[in-house]
Amino acid sequence: MVAALGLSGVVVIGLGWSTANAADNVLRSDKAVARSCFEKPLPKGAAGVDRREVTSTVDGLVQARLRPQGSGSGDWDVAVFDKATGKVVAASAALRSSELAESFVTKGQELVVQACRYTGSSRTVVLGVDFLAVDTQDAATQRAEIVRVETPTKQHKDRLFALGLDVTEKADATGVEVVLAGDADRATLREAGMKSTVVQADISAKSIENTKADREYADRTAASALPSGRTAYRHLYEYNFEMKELARANPRLVKAFTLPEATWEGRDVVGVEIATDVENTKDGKPVDFTMGVHHAREWPAGEHAIEWAHELVKGYRAGGELKSLVEKTRNIVVPIVNPDGFNVSREAEPKGDFSRFDYEMKRKNCNVNDSPEDLRAGACAANPAGRERGTDPNRNYAGFWGGSGASTYWGSDTFRGSGPFSEPETRNVRSVIANRPVTNLITLHTYSNLVLRVPGVADVRPPLDEPAYKALGDKMASRNGYTSQPSWALYDTTGGTEDWSYFATGGWGFTFEVGPNEFHPPFAEVVAEYAGLAPAAGAGKGGNRQAFIDMLTNTADPAAHATLVGSAPKGYQLQVRKAFTTPTSPVVQPDGSTKEPIQWADVIKSDLASKGGRFSWAVNPSTRPYVAGRYGRDPQGPPQAGIALANPDGIPAENTNFPGDATAERIPFHVDGMPAVDNGKMEVTVGWATPETDWDLYIFDSAGNLVTSSANGGTNTEKAVLFDPPAGDYTAVMVNYEQADPATPDDWSNLNVGFSSPLPTTYGPKEPYTLTCSDQRGNIVGLAEIYADRGQTVDVGDVCTRSARTAKERGK
Ligand code: 0X9
Ligand code: ZN
């Protein structure tokens, strides 16, 4: 039973697993035909197909599932068509016979369910069809919008994040764009007293407009500038079908694969690997890993990932630069990391009512286990509790998990999950990175035109690799026209993909926030961002296409990772492995207190199958960046002496509306620079008598830019911090926010500007890999500890035979 917002609670079974006649549920075909199941309804009796007709008993959802019968191997797909029009309603085309086709239907709609045997030996497959009623009765009140919330200080940002609203990545020094799903969110923001302005008044209306624009674009465009020529957003089933077709058409070059874990709703997650002699995954080449759609509504992320796969195949076939890059590397592309969430968002799009927002703007996955008990039942797409259920996959990685910028609350759009890697979606990504030499990784998101690198949290400090890391990010940003910066520069986040992958493995990792201002803009914008066409910021610079090529160029460059060379007999297996624990953040509790960090245990490995003779094997540096050290700089002089700023006469009127209302006191001061002083950090502090009075502090540079601020409530001090303050004239602005007793004003005092030296670079211990060599029977015949730094080539010699002899001699 389902009892939830937006759902009637009635689940009507059609051709369900348990109710229907068993024979009815078994579909059969004596022949496999590799073709699209969803393109059109095939005639009764056509080769490779079986079908059933059903009538929807609900206004709501249809779910058609396939399961293999017995232990049969093979690949069956499924599609549901509207009987009257022959139009596809839902489909599923993963690589095995575990399929879930799900979309929206109306009561009385006559449907044809078609199962297609694509490949393999299984003549039969088991079909289940369910109908789930969905109630959209409170539709009218729920206008969804995007607003820009004024957050002139970090405290404002923290206050905003504590509200649990759907905060976007569009943020700058003084504001953050936030999605308000409906009246409840509007009330939350209003009651918190935060100022905001409307950016997008009606997301549903905009979405309907976009859909119309997309139809027109597709109608007038024969083929886009994308490698595939696509002119419209793909459905989940199109992604999966395209990947297996790419593999079928290019058997030596492309391999489609299913990631180890099915999602919460039981969907297979599909990726492709592209390399010469693609089946030989243990050939020692460096791996470039491109992913999309951790976040359900960020459709362009999936489009760019799959287009990159097409690009590689086309580029390889065409010869030239991409061919030689593909020859030197292996490429893994997982366009849709979160298929459950994506399917909800993507299938809701044509509905054109309230549910458009709540479904179409879903961000998280479909884990219901952390939701309150009465909200745990019901299909994800039936949307009990709206978009609220689920874990944010990009807060669930172990890297600094549990700290700031992630929520402990099940319903928050940044809910971190019950523990590091609690989700199948993140464990799937982990399995690729932990078992393959992924030297380079891009995780695609939307929106804000950003190329983001680690760390997600300011306190972590930049890694030792910062100069090279920044240079690579800047290079890619020169192609797509985005801003290249560390993630924390916007706001702290913890549990993000590359904060785990980079700090654990040393493989470069970047988050791209594709596009200027929408989660899934009109499709023409996807094309422009990819190909570098107007109006994209990367117009004329190569766009994301060229940024991806830069990343692949870096993957192929031995200077950017580490290399082991040596020799081993044919058929012997080499492995490098390291096992270590890394602490998460101190784990934030719902009440704001923290508990001890979790010691997260990782095992990272990489395999090489020897072809005999010399080998060259790309690996990541052996030392985890987490322990390797932090990038800083040595002081080039003393810090500037502190400055005490005098309080001007009088006291400004109360002002709760700064900077809208300019009423304040302004005190100028000067920051010196080299060669006289070297300031690594500037701290401006001020105090007053009682915490019931509230003064706020803002620091502006000579051009009038707000460079730092401090605006707490409930304290009698403020402290504003700026790293590496440029020399020049500044102004401290004191705003009288509130007086405890206006009759006897509590004026501020002790306004001081303090300076300290930069923090120098630090170096931690070196960590080795354990290198083993096993013979054809799997016996370990060689063992060594190997240290390898970035850019280094380490000769491990004759690791198998040499150590085997040693082992034998020892045995005597
Ligand atoms: O918040 C996120 O997960 C990403 N932005 S989005 O709007 N697409 O949701 C940005 C994450 C950046 N931080 C790290 N990668 N650490
Ligand atoms: Zn995202």
State the closest ligand 1 atom to the C-alpha of 497, by its place in the atom list counted from 1.
Answer: 15
**Separation of alpha carbons 81 and 501, rounded Å:** 42
Q: Tens of pLDDT along 244-280?
A: 999 999 999 999 999 999 999 999 999 999 999 999 9
Hunting for tokens 């978009």 — which residue is that?
Answer: 387
Tokens found for residue 587 = 């784990």
**Separation of alpha carbons 734 and 646, rounded Å:** 12
pLDDT the model gives residue 383: 67
Q: What is the mean pLDDT of residues 470-475?
A: 98
Cα(446) to ligand 2 centroid in Å equals 6
pLDDT the model gives residue 12: 38
Of 169, 342, 484, which is best to mutate to test ligand 1, by the most ligand atoms within 8 angstroms of its C-beta? 169
Q: Tens of pLDDT along 311-353?
A: 999 999 999 999 999 999 999 999 999 999 999 999 886 665 5
User: Which are the contacts of 249, defined by CB distance < 8 A and separation ≥ 6?
Assistant: none
pLDDT the model gives residue 14: 45
State the closest ligand 1 atom to the C-alpha of 363, by its place in the atom list counted from 1.
Answer: 9
**Separation of alpha carbons 711 and 171, rounded Å:** 18
The answer to whether the CB of 169 is under 6 A from ligand 1 is yes
The answer to whether the CB of 295 is under 6 A from ligand 1 is yes
331 sits in which H/E element: strand 330-334
Asked if the bond preceding 227 is cis, omega within 30° of 0, the reply is no
pLDDT confidence of 200, banded at 50, 70, 90? confident
- Per the model's pLDDT, the better-predicted residue between 368 and 155 turns out to be 368
Cα(455) to ligand 1 centroid in Å equals 12
- Nearest ligand to the C-alpha atom of residue 400: 1
pLDDT the model gives residue 162: 81
**Separation of alpha carbons 99 and 76, rounded Å:** 8
Is residue 13 pLDDT above 50, yes or no?
Answer: no
The residue whose CA is least distant from atom 7 of ligand 1 is 169
Q: SS3 for 419?
A: coil
Q: Tens of pLDDT along 496-526?
A: 999 999 999 999 999 999 999 999 999 999 9
Cα(452) to ligand 1 centroid in Å equals 9
Of 445, 453, 457, 492, which is best to mutate to test ligand 1, by the most ligand atoms within 8 angstroms of its C-beta? 445
pLDDT the model gives residue 812: 38
pLDDT confidence of 22, banded at 50, 70, 90? low
Is residue 543 pLDDT above 90, yes or no?
Answer: yes
The answer to whether the CB of 412 is under 6 A from ligand 1 is no
Residue 375 sits at φ, ψ, to 5 deg, of -115, 15
Q: Tens of pLDDT along 419-459?
A: 999 999 999 999 999 999 999 999 999 999 999 999 999 88
Closest CA to 237 of 105, 378, 64: 64
Hunting for tokens 């080449």 — which residue is that?
Answer: 285
Q: Tens of pLDDT along 545-558?
A: 999 999 999 999 99
pLDDT the model gives residue 570: 96
The residue whose CA is least distant from atom 1 of ligand 1 is 169
Q: Tens of pLDDT along 52-102?
A: 999 999 988 999 999 998 777 899 999 999 999 999 999 999 999 999 999
**Separation of alpha carbons 449 and 197, rounded Å:** 21
**Separation of alpha carbons 705 and 730, rounded Å:** 10
Question: Which contacts of 192-198 are long-range, i.e. CB under 8 A and separated by 24 or more positions?
Answer: 192/159, 192/160, 192/163, 194/149, 194/150, 194/151, 194/156, 194/159, 194/160, 195/149, 195/150, 195/657, 195/660, 196/147, 196/148, 196/149, 196/150, 197/147, 197/148, 197/150, 198/145, 198/146, 198/147
Contact 97, 29 (CB under 8 A): no
Tokens found for residue 225 = 């500038």
**Separation of alpha carbons 355 and 348, rounded Å:** 7
Closest CA to 412 of 179, 601, 206: 179
The answer to whether the CB of 520 is under 6 A from ligand 1 is no
Which pTM value belongs to this model? Answer: 0.87
Ligand 2 ion local residues (Cβ < 5 A):
295, 298, 445
Is residue 164 pLDDT above 90, yes or no?
Answer: no
Strand order in the sheet with 88-92: 49-55, 110-120, 74-82, 88-92
pLDDT confidence of 385, banded at 50, 70, 90? low
Q: What is the overall mean pLDDT for the chain?
A: 91
Of 176, 396, 413, 513, which is best to mutate to test ligand 1, by the most ligand atoms within 8 angstroms of its C-beta? 513
Burial classification of residue 153, based on how many CB atoms lie within 10 Å of its CB (0-12 exposed, 13-18 middle, 19 or more buried): buried
